Chain A
Amino acid sequence: AQKITQTQPGMFVQEKEAVTLDCTYDTSDPSYGLFWYKQPSSGEMIFLIYQGSYDQQNATEGRYSLNFQKARKSANLVISASQLGDSAMYFCAMMNYGGSQGNLIFGKGTKLSVKP
Chain B
Amino acid sequence: GAGVSQSPSNKVTEKGKDVELRCDPISGHTALYWYRQRLGQGLEFLIYFQGNSAPDKSGLPSDRFSAERTGESVSTLTIQRTQQEDSAVYLCASSLHIRSNRGIDQPQHFGDGTRLSIL
Measuring CB to CB, which residues of chain A are less than 8 angstroms from any residue of chain B?
31-33, 35, 37, 42-47, 50, 52-54, 91, 93, 95, 97, 100-109
Contacts and interface: CB of A to CB of B under 8 A. Distances in A.
Query: Contact residue range for chain B?
Result: 20 to 34
Interface stretch (B19-27, B62-70, B95-103): B95-103
B109 to A, nearest CB: 7
B50 A102 contact: yes
Nearest to A32: B103
B79 interface: no
A105 B45 contact: yes
Main SS class of interface, A: loop
Given A35-B107, A50-B107, A102-B56, A97 B99 contact: yes
Given A33-B104, A97-B99, A103-B56, A91 B43 contact: yes
B116 to A, nearest CB: 13
A68 to B, nearest CB: 14
B119 to A, nearest CB: 21
B112 interface: yes
B46 to A, nearest CB: 8
A52 B91 contact: no
Pairs of residues from A and B, 7 with the lowest C-beta to C-beta distance, nearest first: A45-B110, A103-B45, A47-B107, A106-B42, A106-B43, A31-B103, A102-B48
Contacts of B98: 97, 102
Contacts of B111: 44
A104 B33 contact: yes
Given A91-B42, A100-B55, A102-B33, A43 B103 contact: no
A103 B34 CA distance: 9
Q: From B44, B45, B103, B111, name the one whose CB has the most chain A CB atoms within 10 angstroms.
A: B103
